[in-house]
Structures are given as C-alpha cells and as structure tokens.
C-alpha cells in the first residue's frame, strides 16, 4: 500500500525529533508489568477473541450498525463511543506513530493511527480506519483522534486532504467542520496534477507536506526552548 510507505517517511521524520529528548511512554500489560511503547508501530496481524468495533469509526454510524445487524453480528450496548459491533476475528494492517510535539501537552493523545480493518467475512468493514487499544481483555477498534491545540492543526488538514485527493477518496475527518480545508487544498493538488502528471504530483506534493511538518516542528521546538 503506497499510503503506508508515505506515512512511514513521516513517522521517521517525527521520530527523529522525538529521540533527542526521548521520554518513555509506558503501557501496562498483565500483572502490572510495563513496557515502553515504540514511537513507530507497523501493524500487520490477525486478532482473535473478543473484538469490539465502535460504530463511531464512520461519519454515518447508523448505516454501519444497520449493516452489522443485517449480517447477524452481535451488538454491544452503547458506551462512550456508541454501540460496538462484536467480531471474533479481524485482520489489521497499517501504522501507528507518535507525532512530535515539543510542548508535551498530551502524552496520552499524541499518536496518529492509520490502521485498516480487513474482514473477509464482513466486507462492509474492509478498509475502515481505526485506532487499536485493549480493554478488559478485548481488542477495541475505535475512531482515531489526535489532540493538538494550536499546533499542526492546519497541517493535519493538508495531510488529510493530500491523502483524500491522491489515495483515499472516501477519507473523512472533522476539526471545526467536516473535511476542514479540503476544498482549498484540492485546488492546489489539481493544479500540480495538471502540470506535472498524477504520479509526479503525488510525490511532489507529499514532499511539500513533509517539508511543512519539518518547518512547524523546528519553529515550535525553538519556541519551547526560548520560553523554557
């Protein structure tokens, strides 16, 4: 998947900023033991057991819920993220990584998740984008989210717009509004595509997205150092 190769590049750049001032993120596993969570996690695995797929992974949860009921899948009662579809097996593939934020304001919510569901028996779930976590022994697949507060917000609109235009035409996100910034960025991408062709435009515009991330990271790192 080309998208994951692009995102791996972004993750490595972010990781390069994280390493000089590494702070350990610990995840509790079994009997109170803790392990350090990697800054970059490539996911390519099959999960079995109790798997809860939150219906909030789509902009239209009622449609997803209806499809699950038609397929005869069990539904777990509504919780904080709405009703969950219960599976006993799912294939997951993608990448999850920490996004560099020199302020360190949200250490528990500073990761970008681009992990996709593959469900051979329930194709209406295929390609859904999720965040993977565990709760009371169950695998929980929920809607990815990221807390930024004035840092990289416009840039994430640009990244998501690039993904939607070139690689994921059904990608949906919401910041202040649905598909924030996409109309403006689409015009830019279309112009580059017209002058340079599809493949070259895809590469060149992602290079620009990556360069913009670097500029923001450098600026905010200097700001934090200056006010420390």
pLDDT in tens, 85-137: 999 999 999 999 999 999 988 888 899 999 999 998 999 999 999 999 999 99
Domain-wise residue ranges, the chain: 2-142, 153-227
Rounded to whole angstroms, the Cα distance separating 44 from 133 reads 15
**Tell me, what's the pLDDT at 82?**
84
Rounded to whole angstroms, the Cα distance separating 8 from 210 reads 11
Look at the block and give the residue holding tokens 């996409």: 182
Per the document, the length of the chain is 228
Segment 139-154 mean pLDDT: 91
Q: What angle do CA 85, 60, 183 make, to 5 degrees?
A: 140
**Tell me, what's the pLDDT at 26?**
46
With b for 16 or more beta-carbon neighbours within 10 A and e for fewer, the 23-33 pattern comes to eebeeeeeeee
From 55-59, 74-78, 89-93, 128-132, the region with the lowest mean pLDDT = 74-78
Question: pLDDT class for 32, splitting at 50, 70, 90?
Answer: low
**Tell me, what's the pLDDT at 95?**
98
**Tell me, what's the pLDDT at 218?**
95
| Mean pLDDT (the chain, rounded) | 91
Q: What is the pLDDT of residues 193-209, one digit of tens each?
A: 999 999 999 999 999 99
With CA atoms as reference, report the closest residue to 22 among 96, 104, 95: 104
């Amino acid at each position: 998947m080309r998208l994951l190769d692009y995102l791996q590049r972004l993750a490595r750049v972010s990781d390069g900023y994280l390493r000089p001032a590494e702070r350990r993120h610990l995840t509790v596993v079994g009997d109170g033991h803790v392990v350090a969570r990697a800054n970059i996690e490539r996911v390519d695995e099959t999960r079995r057991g109790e798997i809860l797929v939150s219906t909030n992974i789509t902009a239209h949860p009622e449609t997803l819920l209806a499809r699950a009921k038609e397929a005869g899948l069990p539904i777990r009662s509504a919780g904080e993220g709405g009703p969950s579809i219960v599976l006993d097996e799912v294939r997951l593939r993608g990448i999850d990584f920490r996004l560099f934020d020199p302020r360190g304001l949200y250490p528990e919510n500073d990761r970008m998740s681009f992990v996709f569901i593959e469900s051979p028996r329930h194709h209406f779930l295929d390609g859904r984008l999720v965040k993977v976590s565990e709760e009371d022994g169950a695998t929980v697949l929920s809607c990815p989210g990221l807390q930024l507060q004035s840092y990289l917000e416009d840039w994430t609109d640009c990244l998501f717009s690039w993904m939607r235009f070139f690689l994921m035409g059904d990608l949906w996100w919401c910041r202040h509004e649905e598909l924030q910034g996409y109309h403006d960025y689409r015009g830019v991408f279309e112009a580059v595509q017209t002058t340079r062709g599809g493949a070259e435009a895809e590469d060149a515009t992602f290079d620009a997205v990556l360069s913009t991330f670097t500029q923001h990271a450098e600026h905010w790192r200097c700001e934090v150092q200056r006010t420390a």
